[in-house]
Amino acid sequence: MVDENDMANSTRTISRSTLEQIKKLYHKLAKALHPDINPQTEKIPEMRQLWQMVSVAYTANSLKDLEDAEILIRRALEKIGMGDMEIEIPDIDKKVAEIREEILHIKETNPYQYKFIFRRYGGSGKTEAGA
C-alpha cells in the first residue's frame, strides 16, 4: 500500500484514462464500504482498515492499490455474509435533495467557496448559467 509520506512526496503523473479507472473503481468500492452506506464498516475493524486503505489509495491516485483493496474487500464482505448483497442507500432521493439544497445555499451565500469546492472535486467552477 502507498505510504502517506510517499504520496506527499510523489511527483508522478498519470494518464487521463488511468485517472478515470481510479475514479470508477473508487466509486464502486465506496458504494460497498463507505461508513455512511455500510454500517458494518464502523463495527468491524477489518472493514474500517480496508476503508482507510481505499481512501489513501484514492488520494494517492494508485490504481494498483485500489485493485488490491477490491480483492480484499470482496473477501471481507463474503466473510461476513455480504458478498452478493446489493448495497441500498436508504432515502436516497431525500439525501440528494438535501445535498442540492446545501449546494444552492453555498452558491447563494458564498460563490467563491462554491467555485473552490467545485474545482477541488472535479468541476470547472462554472455554474449552469455559465457564471
Helices (H) and strands (E) in the chain, counts: 7, 0
Q: What is the pLDDT of residue 119?
A: 74
pLDDT along the chain (131 residues), means of 10: 51 83 90 85 89 94 89 84 58 84 84 74 52 41
DSSP code per residue over 39-96:
THHHH-HHHHHHHHHHHHHHHTT-HHHHHHHHHHHHHHHHHTT-TTPPP--TTHHHHH
